[in-house]
Structure formats: structure tokens, C-alpha cells
Structure 1
Amino acid sequence: MTERPEQPDFAPERVLSAYLLGALEFDALTALQRRLVYDISGDRDTAALILCEHPPGITIGREGSVAHVRPNTNALAARRWPVRWVGRGGGVMLHQPGQVVCYPIFPLDSLNITAGRYVNELQAVAVDLCHEFGVEALPDQARPGASANGRRIAHVGVAVRSWVSSFGLIVNANPDLEPFRDVRCDGAPAPMTSLQRESSLRVRVSGVRQLLLELIAARFGFTRVSVFHNHPADLPRPKHHALPHAS
């Protein structure tokens, strides 16, 4: 278990509801995220985290451009890669199976953290995750995320509205890297790499997902974590099902 970093200014005894949902279409994710943002905006003692994978497709954030996508409209249609413009920071991102997608919906004001520091903390989580697999990674201040051996390995792109965060962090665990040659993710000149490519260890999505959950909970000071494997629409609000988070 990774040691919990000292974060004395984060609120203590806060419960994190983590939804481990497997493959999730991006449009379904958008609807789910909108609902959780609404819930947490009304109850700032709660926080949620979505961990999932997306089918192949492209999202373009506020700093993105279609110039960073090499295939034309017909080629994208042939590949069945939908393109979505989204209101988050960051540029173009290619979604592929084999990534771990992490969307924290956090009340930043209740956590006593600014939006700028929040982005830095997510970058630090990505770097710590890489280190767990023996990969030396560095945060990228110009294009929020993390890089290993000169290639991006993680993307950070967030939105904050009324102090509630959405979108978040994407880590390449072991996706097919060939398609990344056709998309300049976040405008970077080199194609993305992955934990599997850079690490001597075997990398499994399930292991990366679990470790990422632990790192997020520890860094942001969540002492209790409730884990669900169903869509939140099918669950009651998880106020009394929290389990202690091991440290």
C-alpha cells in the first residue's frame, strides 16, 4: 500500500464514493457526471470518483484543435471514432481500451484546495502511479499531465464549476499505441506511450485502476471509501455503506 502523503489542510473523515464501471460510452459518462456534479453541488460533504474505460473515440478540450487529428471525417467514420467537443481543460485526447479513465467529482472549496493546485495534485498522482511501476515520469506544466522518456503517458484535463470538479485524469495502462500516431494528444509532437511499454512489470488495467483509487484517496485525504460496481442511478445515495480506507 502506498503511504498516504501528509495533507493536513484537507477536510478529515470525508467519505469518497468510487464507481468502478468498466467500459462506458462517453455520452453515458457525460450524463452520469452531470448528475453527480448536481448531487455534490447540493451536498458538499460528499465526493465521488468514476473509474472506467471508454470505447475508441476522440474528445477535444478548450485548448484542442482539429488540426491535431490526422484522419479526416470519412476516415474517422470508417474507424467508428466519434468526436466530442467538451468543456474541460487540455487539448485533444484519443480514448482507447486499455486506458484507465478517472473522473473525480470533488467539492474543491470543502477540500480547501484551489483549481490550480487541484490540477497539480492530479499530475502528482499520475507521477506517483508511474513510479509504482518503476517508470520515471515528470509532470508537464505546459500540457497538464505526465510524460515518460519524452512521451506523454497521462493526460489531465479538468472542469470546475461552482467549485465542483469534473473530468480529470487519463492514464495509458496498456492500450494499442499504434492509433496514437494519428492523434497529437494535447498537441504534443510525439505519440503517447504507456505503462506497459515503459515498465518491466506486467501491467493490468484492473491493477492500475485499484492503485489509482488508492493514490487518489490518500492524496486528497479520504479516510473512508465506498466502492460500487453499478451505475449510481441504480443505487441509493451511499451515506451508510462506507468502509475504512486502508493506509
Structure 2
Amino acid sequence: MPGKTDRTVTLPSLPTGFHVLQAGRLSYEAGLAFQEKLIERRLHDADSEYLMLLEHDPVITLGRGSNQAHVRLPPDELSRQGIACHESSRGGDVTWHGPGQLVGYPILHMDQIGRDLHRYLRLLEQCLIQTLSAFGLQGERQAGKTGVWVGGRKIASIGIGVRRWISWHGFALNIAPDLRAFEAIVPCGLQDVTMTSLAVECANAPSRTTVEQQIIRAFAATFNLQHHGCHDLASFTQT
């Protein structure tokens, strides 16, 4: 119609790829701080999504749905053992992070999956299940629970947060941690859960580098994103 204003709105396209940040070993606080920097970067420069891979110093984190009673050791004993304890803005209950565990923090715009958080959790599980299959393991879901199991034993935990529709926090996959560390908590609030690892379940435990490579491949396939390369924190900060 002559004189009618065209109100069609063209939305900016989403990134088709992601960068991997291999952060090495960081404290939980340092990992949170860098995630927040990546969220700001993603909000103001939508050139790529991100996947941060790291290992934490020993720490117990309490998610938004946690029960303090699920931490079995008193603060003085945690301190004696060198285990930090932090409340977290992620979902879920109590979990442990530490050496021998691969932690992944996707910084991903939820428009990639239609802002569907339930779907996002299932996709993270799918990514982990696909990773495990590369090592001959059959990853499993359990109805009503979030995470991944092998033969009824839990091998990976997931707890996410979303800020302005950008994801943060993420998953923890046990490669070869000292599983006795989980005795300090009720993992994810599951009283009868048995924790396991790739080192326990595989005849030949894969290296951390090999697991990271498989996670990257699985993440690319699961979220239909191209891998744009790996960076350490120092080199990435300078870009």
C-alpha cells in the first residue's frame, strides 16, 4: 500500500562457529571471572560462541537448589584438606571439582536453540554421551535427573546458568580424579549415587588432551557449529 511503512525486522544472524579456550588449571573464582568477561564479549561482539575447557583447584560448589546438609565435612576439615567451598549461581545441588576432571563452560547464546533450557541440558548430555562413545563407553541418561551415567554410575554432572540469554557454567566430566573426593558431599543431592570416571571404566584411560579433542568434536556436531580454533587465556585476551 502506498505510504505504508515497512515494519519487517531483520534479526542479526547468529554465529556459525565457536572458539575453544584451554584455560589449564584455575581456581573456581578465576574461572567465574573469565566467564563473566566472555559473556560481556559475547553480548557486545557476536562474532562467535565460546567453549572454555579447564580444571579447577579442589572446590565444592553449592548450586541454587543445594542443601547445605549435602556437604558432609565441616568447614575446618574442608580447610585442612585444602578444599574451598563456594555458593554458585548455577542450577543444581552440591558438586565437587578438582584435579583429574574436565570442566566445560559453554558461552552460548540461547537463540541457537530457541531459548529452550530443557533442550539445552539434553544437548549437553548428548555431547557428553557422544564423547564417551569415542572411548567405547555407552553413556546413559536417567529419567528425572540431569547428567550422564555409565552402567548406573555417574560420570558427568551438569549445572547451568543463563545471563541475558547467554549460557554460563556447564559440565564436569570425570577423567581420572581421586573418586574418594566425592565422599565429602552427597553428589548432586543423590544419596545412593556411585561416581565413576573414564580411568575406571576404560581398559586404557585416555589422556586429557584426547578427551578434550573428542569433547570439541562432539560439541561442534551437537550444536552444529564450526570449530574456529583453540587458544590459551593469555593469547586470547590479547586478541
TM normalised by structure 2 equals 0.88
Q: Could you tell me how far 1:42 is from its partner in structure 2? A: 2.2
Q: Paired residue for 1:195?
A: 198
1:208 paired to 2:194: no
Q: Residue 113 of structure 2 contacts residue 120 of structure 2 at CA under 8 Å; is this kept in 1?
A: no
Q: Which amino acid aligns with 1:212?
A: I
Deviation, 1:141, is 4.3
Which stretch of the first structure deviates more once superposed, 136-145 or 150-159?
A: 136-145
Which of 202, 227, 231 aligns to 2:230? It is 227
Distance 1:104 1:141, change over 3 A: farther
Structure whose alpha-carbon radius of gyration is higher: 2
Task: Give ranges in structure 1 of 5+ residues lacking alignment.
Answer: 1-10, 237-247
* C-alpha distance in 2 between matches for 1:205 and 1:181: 24
CA offset digits 1:54-112 (Å, max 9, x no partner): 01111111122221111111111101111111111121111121100000000111454
CA contact (8 A) 1:94 1:180 kept: yes
SS in 2 for 1:109: helix
State the number of aligned residues.
Answer: 226
Alignment root-mean-square deviation, CA: 1.8
Residues 108 and 168 in structure 2, CA contact (< 8 A), matched pair in contact too: yes
Contact 1:44 1:110 in 2 (8 A): no
* Partner in structure 2 of residue 69 of structure 1: 71
**Partners of 1:141 and 1:160 in 2: CA distance:** 23
Match of 2:3 in 1: none
| Equivalent-residue separation in structure 2 for 1:219 and 1:103 (angstroms) | 15
User: Which stretch has the larger CA shift, 47-56 or 145-154?
Assistant: 145-154
| SS of the residue 1:207 aligns to | helix
Normalization by structure 1: what TM-score? 0.85
Aligned to 1:172: 174
Offset of residue 150 of structure 1 = 1.8
Unaligned runs of 5+ in 2: 1-12
Cα distance in structure 2, aligned partners of 1:141 and 1:47: 30
For residues 110 and 132 of structure 1, what CA distance do their matches in structure 2 show?
25
Per-residue CA deviation, residues 117-167 of structure 1 (Å, 9 max, x unaligned), is 111100111111222212222123433111112221100110112211001
Check whether the contact 2:15–2:46 (CA below 8 A) recurs between aligned residues. no
